[in-house]
Amino acid sequence: MAGTALVTAMNDNAVTLRGFGKRYGKTVAVDGVDLDIARGEIFGLIGPDGAGKSSLMKAVAGVLTFDSGSIDVFGTRIDSERAAETIKARLGLMPQGLGQNLYGDLSIEENIDFFARLRLVPADVLAERKKTLLGMTRLDRFRNRPMKQLSGGMKQKLGLVCTLIHAPDLVILDEPTTGVDPVSRRDFWTILAELLHEQGITALVSTAYLDEASRFQRMAMLHGGRVLASGTPADIHALSPGAVVTLASDDQVGALARLKPQFPQSEALGPQLRVFVDDAGPGPAGEQVLAALDGLPAQLLDCSDPELEDIFVALLRRRGLADLGDGEAAPAGTRGARPEGIAIAADALTRDFGEFRAVDAVSFSVPQGEIFGLLGANGAGKTTVIKMLCGIMPPSAGSGAVAGADMRSAGRQIKERIGYMSQAFSLYLDLTVAENIRLYAGIYGLDRVQTAERLDWIINMAGLHGYQTMLAADLPMGLRQRLALGCALVHKPQVLFLDEPTSGVDPVGRRQFWDILFRLSRVDGVAILVTTHYMSEAEHCDHISLMFAGRVVADDSPAGLKADLTREAGELLEITDPAPADALAVVRELGFADAALYGPKIHAFSRDATTDGRRLRERLPQASVRVRPVSMEDVFVHLVTRLEGART
């Protein structure tokens, strides 16, 4: 009887994995994974590059063999190529990478038609589905545009349409939003949630963005090929209870030095400090943090529940899978006074490519010792601005200065005074860690004594002890990225340019990277200009310029930008209801046109939170409504959506 019950439960699932394992030679990619994915749910695989997500998904799709365990998809045991073929008509697979399942020379409509013919979709059925999907994704106006001319977000929406055109029962989406700007990410998730609700499809989705985890109904966190934790977002939160304390101190460097030993998950966010306190509620957590400061003046700003990324890092730390360390924190009293002067100045910088204006009269300034964020969607012009300031690309108009050198006439001086880390890490993968550092030291003209000194400093700064003789190609992504940063710093530059530096890096690696940047800015006085797609990372910046279509459209601190959003759009309401998709329709009926699904929750802006909260509870008696702080993603999406609307 017990065996019969187990088989029945497995047949009720869309996907069941038991003891699943996959090896590549001697490397274990996935080891002993058990998962149950229910029909009709959005199930997430969370984890950094190399966690085993892609291997697992390809095996479920029947396109990758595996070495141990079993996979059942809609009750069919996938134990042979023939078995995989029997269920492929019910699956839709969207592989990792922008437009990887599309054809560049075909238009949007031609790509859709090709996949429809491949899946034997009847012509009359195709016409109706195509109309629906193109309308939902807002691609109908661009149906004749070649795929290779689409933005990253449009490519991903077209990829989703092609994956869904044959109405599969299960869609498998491998990191569908990696490399996509926040507006396109949010748009993608809204479309997916609505489609799945209307058609009852099951979705298996992977992501490296921990802030996306709240959009899943259930999830599994993977680390090193194994399941670290699984369940609903609430289940995951319960595994590592605690609270997050946000505070400010005039001695930010000293305060962080006192907090790190007791609270390893302490980090600087612009002028503030953010501290995760294990096993404490908001009230006691604040008291513990103030006690750890031992009299150092500080102001408590907020005590709140942790985000899922905090929980993920805490689980790794508590289980001995990640060592956050104390870093090279300066002692209390080391204020790291910011040196005077402007490190970077852009004055009406403009760059044309033929008739296309990529950068249009961009102006900003970055004081020495500041972390400055340059944000924008794909194609906004961020990388072009950096290349002009670094002397890599001449401007069509305007001027700029970096570390006191004119970017038009002092190319060599600028290169000697800056460090530059591009989107593609500029390392030599067939050289060891030490060989890469010595090579860059030679390029910058350091002598033998200086090279030895800087090599030791970089090894300590980047946490590379024991890795000196390892090839760069064999390093984990986080260590490789810190080595690339070290090579950019080998000549002690006054200014550091970082272009999407943490793409593909796990949360622990990103936090360690930002700890280094904090010390560089506050203790060493280095000015840092960084572009990033991680909106949570924008919080680390002291000041932000947001670019849209080649122009700067907002310029302020993160706190200032959030305050502007609240004044313009109102407070952000979070609505929790047992039937979120049905509740969303009610919320929109009540006039919240911008309301959107976030997994099991709904977000909407309100100019009168008290009155609107009462209205929502009257129509949705089972719902809870609360005001939550706005994020930098909310700021970015609101600004860019408004500007896009003004252009149409």
- Span 588-606, pLDDT tens digits: 999 998 888 776 789 999 9
Handedness of CA 351, 352, 353, 357 (dihedral sign): positive
Dist CA 274 CA 310 (whole Å): 11
Question: How many residues comprise the chain?
Answer: 648
Fold adopted by 240-318 = Alpha-Beta Plaits (3.30.70)
Q: Exposed, middle or buried by CB within 10 Å (0-12, 13-18, 19+), for 466? A: exposed
Counting residues of the chain whose pLDDT is more than 90, the rounded percentage is 54
Q: CATH number of 342-553: 3.30.420.40, 1.10.150.120, 3.40.50.300, 1.20.1260.10?
A: 3.40.50.300
Both tokens of residue 124? Answer: 């009359």
Q: pLDDT tens-digit profile of 303-359? A: 988 988 899 899 999 988 877 765 444 433 334 445 678 999 999 999 999 999 999
Structure tokens at 9: 């439960």
Which positions ≥6 away from 58 have C-beta within 8 Å? 64, 93, 174
CATH 3.40.50.300 correct for 2-235: yes
Q: Where does the pLDDT of residue 421 fall: very low under 50, low under 70, confident under 90, or very high at 90 and above?
A: confident
Mean pLDDT of 611-632: 93
- Count of Cβ atoms closer than 10 Å to residue 295 Cβ: 9
- Answer whether 535's CB lies under 8 Å from 377's CB: no
Nearest to residue 89, comparing CAs of 166, 17, 161? 166
Domain 342-553 in the same topology as domain 240-318: no
pLDDT at 537: 78
What residues does 248 pair with on adjacent strands? 272, 299
DSSP run (H or E) holding 289:
helix 282-292
Q: Could you tell me the CA-to-CA distances from 9 to 84, 270, 618, 620 in Å, in that order?
A: 21, 50, 38, 33
Most distant CA atoms of the chain, gap in Å:
83
Q: How many CB atoms lie within 10 A of CB 1?
A: 5
Q: Per residue in 82-111, pLDDT tens? A: 999 999 999 999 988 766 778 989 999 999
- Distance of alpha carbon 250 from alpha carbon 22, whole angstroms: 51
| Mean pLDDT of the 361-369 span | 95
Judge: domain 560-647, CATH 2.60.120: no
pLDDT value at 429 more than 60: yes
Q: Which strands form 170-174's sheet, in the order they lie side by side?
A: 91-94, 170-174, 202-207, 42-46, 218-223, 226-231
If 0-12 CB within 10 Å is exposed, 13-18 middle and 19+ buried, where does residue 8 land?
Answer: exposed
C-alpha dihedral sign at 96, 98, 102, 103: negative
Q: Is 181 left (phi over 0), alpha (psi -120 to 50) or beta?
A: beta
Higher pLDDT, 144 or 642: 144
Number of other CB atoms surrounding residue 102 within 10 Å:
22
CA atoms within 13 A on the CB side of 638: 25
Residue 614 and residue 621: Cα distance in Å, rounded?
A: 10
Spans of all domains in the chain: 2-235, 240-318, 342-553, 560-647
Pairing state between β 170-174 and 91-94: parallel
- Asked if the model's pLDDT at residue 65 lies above 90, the reply is yes
365 closest CA partner among 542, 560, 516: 542
- Spatial strand order in the sheet of 495-499: 418-421, 495-499, 527-531, 371-376, 543-548, 551-556
Segment 118-142 mean pLDDT:
89
* pLDDT band, very low/low/confident/very high, at 400 (cuts 50, 70, 90): very high
Element (H, E) at 89: none
Question: pLDDT confidence of 4, banded at 50, 70, 90?
Answer: very low
d(CA 321, CA 126): 49
What is the chain's alpha carbon radius of gyration, rounded to the nearest angstrom?
25
HSE (side-chain half, CA atoms, 13 Å) at 510:
25
pTM above 0.85, yes or no: no
Interior CA angle at 172 toward 89 and 198, to 5°? 80
- Which candidate, 193, 189, 209, places its Cα nearest to that of 201? 193
How confident is the prediction for the chain on average, in pLDDT? 87
Structure confidence at residue 243 (pLDDT): 95
Q: Is residue 558 predicted with pLDDT exceeding 90?
A: yes
